[in-house]
Homo-oligomer: A and B are copies of this chain.
């Protein structure tokens, strides 16, 4: 006995995918003024959440290739958003640290995301909005994302 599947467009998987792509596309537009892409924001948020870390560790956490981490760190370095220092104890490691300007950029990205949140959630009742926040927070935590 197998339960009948719901139609694909009713699934959590499909809706998360479509709505996530929509959210990211709109976020990308708003980040343009800060010269950031969503992945840069993810990296800045990671640095803000935890201790300074080497590029390889950060790449693993974000699930991207080490070579992409180089590109992301290069760009953030040019913006003055992160500092890069060789670890004195192991000179192979490049340790990234958030600068004051990086914190300002991250705050700008948070404002942009926050504004977009209002637009996205405009159709939800306050109760549904709260329930959505809680459920997404649980999912994020279960997937190992840093939950502040």
Contact = CB atoms under 8 A, between A and B. Distances in A.
A37 B24 CA distance: 19
Interface in A1-51: 5-24, 26-27, 38, 41-42, 44-45, 48-49
A68 interface: no
Nearest to A24: B17
Nearest to A22: B143
Most central of A9, A44, A120 by chain B CB within 10 Å: A9
A7 B148 contact: yes
Nearest to A127: B131
B106 A123 contact: no
Contacts of A137: 10, 15
Interface of A: 5-24, 26-27, 38, 41-42, 44-45, 48-49, 106-107, 109-111, 113-114, 116-117, 120-124, 128-129, 131-143, 145-148
